[in-house]
Amino acid sequence: MKARVHVMLKNGVLDPQGEAVRHALGALGFDQVEGVRQGKVIDLELTEGATEADVTRMCEKLLANTVIERFEIELL
């Protein structure tokens, strides 16, 4: 079983890296871009019987810092 965890900065938390990417896209002439947010994707290979609740606990304890980040779990 596999799970994919998406970790993104919460709305309202400044994302300087996303902003830098937005500027760079603008400099390349991509004026269609109004905003960029950059995050992380973490793929987990899980043992048989692991549950989404287990992955949620992993996110809360380590994979995301819930002070600044939100996470979404995708079971693959």
Partner 1 sequence: MRAAVIVFPGSNCDRDLAVAFEQAGFSVEMVWHKDAALPDGIDIVGVPGGFSYGDYLRCGAIAAQSPICKALAAHTERGGYAVGICNGFQVLTETGILPGALLRNAGLKYICRTIGLKVETSDSAFTEGYNAGDVIDIPIAHHDGNYFADDETLAELRDQDRIAFTYAENPNGSRDDIAGILSHNRRVLGMMPHPERAADSGHGGTDGTALFRALAGVLAPA
For the CB of residue 70, give the shortest distance to partner 1 in the complex, in Å.
Answer: 13
When the beta carbons of 48 and 60 are compared against partner 1, the nearer one is 60
Distances (CA, A) of 60 to 35, 49, 56, 57: 27, 20, 6, 5
- Interface residues with partner 1 (CB under 8 A) are 9, 13-14, 16-17, 20, 61-63, 65, 67-68
Least distance between partner 1 and beta carbon 63 (Å): 7
Question: Which of 2/23 has CB closer to partner 1?
Answer: 23
The CA-atom distances, in angstroms, between 29 and each of 21, 26, 32, 34, 46 are 13, 5, 9, 13, 43
